[in-house]
Amino acid sequence: MSTHRDAVHAQFDARAAAYLSSSVHAAGPDLQRARELVAGMSPRPARALDLGCGAGHLAFALAPLVGSVVALDPSDGMLAQVAAEADRRGLGQVETRRSAAESLPWPDASFELVATRYSAHHWSGLDAAMAEARRVLAPGGHLLVIDIEAPADALVDTHLQAIELLRDRSHVRNRSDLEWRALLRGIGAELLTMERWGTRLEFASWISRMGTPQAKAEVIRGMLAEAPAEVREALRVEPDGSFQPRTGLWWARIPGV
């Protein structure tokens, strides 16, 4: 019987190229806002960590703004893609490291910035990962979280979580704004700003990017088509199955000495 970690590797080791070319991941207002927030840090971070880096888009965006950035992921396929693309772009500030977010291989206070984008919904041990992020952050350091935001409405949330899991068996769950605020409070971080944007997911490319089996894709399409009006309106479901959840950004600071 396979574990959740096995599912992560099975889903992502072979999908790195698809995520590198994904327009959803390669651009977006959240990525631009991340650049602005990090550019406003004084002094600029000497060491940054991108947790669950995927194809590396956040690490690439932040690399010119920091001394160095470690792109960390449990997927060898993703890390190979990140290393090759960083070399192609001439981003010598980017290094890669294989590890899970729940157990980081660095001593306390190793980084001034820890960031993660579109990864935390895959972590089965989110509390442990957040504690590790706090541990490796230096006093006065910043934490940046970007992920699909779980709807506050339970009916909408249930539908979104269900189609996410059908598409991607490594999905754990999207968290709501209230849940993220509680997680940040739990590690003693001060939330500085929370922002959100609609993120349109074009159905065909969303399914193709993950290599979702056709049978499951049809179930997802049927669920969206048959969803109550409140769900279809909240997720802005289109006739072809494309829909629009929200991306949330949480920017927090660890107290200084």
Q: Which domains does the chain have, with CATH numbers?
A: 4-150+171-200+245-253 (3.40.50.150)
pLDDT tens by residue, 223-257: 999 999 999 999 999 999 999 999 999 999 999 86
Section 4-18 average pLDDT: 53
Residue with tokens 């306390």, as numbered in its chain: 108
Contacts of 250 (CB under 8 A, 6+ apart): 143, 144, 145, 146, 180, 181, 184, 191, 193, 194
pLDDT tens by residue, 177-218: 999 999 999 999 999 999 999 999 999 999 998 899 999 999
- 4 pLDDT band (50/70/90 cuts)? low
> 54-92 burial, b if ≥16 CB within 10 A, otherwise e?
bbbbbbbbbbebbeebbbbbbbebbbebbeebbeeeebe
- pTM of the predicted protein model: 0.92
Cα separations in angstroms, 202 against 25, 165, 178, 205, 248: 13, 17, 27, 6, 19
